[in-house]
Amino acid sequence: MPKPFVNKVMRVFGSRDIIESAERPHNQLTIDHKLPRLRWDTESNRKLIDYSNMDEDFIREHFQLLKKSNGSVSHNLLKSRTCEDCFRTGRRGKPFGINFFYAGGPKWAASSKRDPSGCVGCGWYDFALWREKLNEAIKTK
């Protein structure tokens, strides 16, 4: 990713690792495409690497910041392995073993393996929204 884009993302998100909700130095963060690359089609590929034309709303919608490895496994690697397994088996990931989906269920339900709508509801796809919806569900119980 080009440096100007990286700087823009850091301005948009600050220095907060979305999973642990912890402030980190920029060199300890990875910019993550919410939609896993293995799910990209031609149009997604065109839009998700056109870094010079991305505004702040697009960045908020399509990216999140994850912790890089500090000697242990990085959140980006955990997400990647989970998404690869989902792509292969059709079983959606459960962050930290938490069986909660704010949309859909534990099985991939999109019409195509490249349909991004199948990721919606999975915590690995949009961790901030997943946490928000999980907290809402806990409050109502």
For residue range 99-126, list pLDDT tens digits in order: 999 999 999 988 888 888 899 999 999 9
- Rounded to a whole number of angstroms, the CA Rg of the chain reads 15
Paired tokens of 140: 């109502």
Angle at 55 between CA 51 and CA 57, to 5 degrees: 125
pLDDT at 131: 96
pLDDT at 71: 59
- pLDDT tier for residue 8 given thresholds of 50, 70 and 90: very high
For residue 128, with 0-12 CB atoms within 10 Å meaning exposed, 13-18 middle and 19 or more buried, which class applies?
middle
pLDDT at 5 exceeding the cut of 90: yes
Strand partners, 17: 22
Of the candidates 7, 83, 94, the residue with the CA atom closest to the CA atom of residue 51? 7
Paired tokens of 41: 């089609």
Rounded-to-integer distance, Cα 30 and Cα 115, Å: 24
Strand partners, 39: none
pLDDT at 3: 94
Total number of residues shown for the chain: 141
For residue range 50-70, list pLDDT tens digits in order: 999 999 999 999 999 998 876
For residue range 18-53, list pLDDT tens digits in order: 998 889 898 889 999 999 999 988 888 889 889 999
